[in-house]
């Protein structure tokens, strides 16, 4: 590996985490300021994390997960949040119920 250059999967994981933190925070009804007040994380740091610019340590992953009410591993899961967008209620397809 070239020094100073992250492998592609690291970037994908960082962006997945960023998207999931923002989604979980919004689902919890928290602003960045609210989340920072609960976790003790600075707003500048959280903003950078949510934009996928900074890596985040395990302690902060745990603090964020507890504050937004999800398991820490959910914040790293690429499919997190897709169940809401892909649910039948949100689908434009007709409902095919059996009589």
Instruction: List domains and CATH numbers for the chain.
Output: 8-78 (1.10.260.40)
- The per-residue pLDDT for 7 is 75
Task: State how far the Cα of 1 lies from the Cα of 4, in Å rounded to an integer.
Answer: 9
What is d(CA 19, CA 25) in angstroms, rounded to the nearest whole number?
10
Distance from C-alpha of 7 to C-alpha of 73, rounded to nearest angstrom: 21
3-state secondary structure of 81: coil
Q: What pLDDT, on a 0 to 100 scale, did the predictor assign at position 3?
A: 56
The whole-number pLDDT of residue 91 equals 42
Q: Quote the pLDDT of residue 98.
A: 42
User: Mean pLDDT for each 10-residue chunk of the chain (99 residues)?
Assistant: 68 95 97 97 96 94 98 96 56 41
Hey, what are 7's tokens? 């492998």
């Amino acid at each position: 590996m070239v020094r100073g250059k992250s492998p592609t999967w690291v970037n994908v994981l960082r962006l997945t985490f960023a998207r999931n933190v923002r989604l979980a925070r919004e689902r919890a009804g928290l602003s960045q300021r609210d989340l920072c007040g609960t976790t003790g994380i600075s707003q500048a740091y959280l903003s950078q994390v949510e934009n996928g610019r900074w890596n985040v340590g395990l302690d902060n992953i745990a603090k964020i997960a507890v504050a937004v009410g999800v398991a820490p591993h959910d914040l790293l899961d690429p499919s997190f949040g897709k169940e809401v967008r892909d649910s039948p209620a949100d689908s434009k397809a007709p409902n095919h119920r059996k009589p």
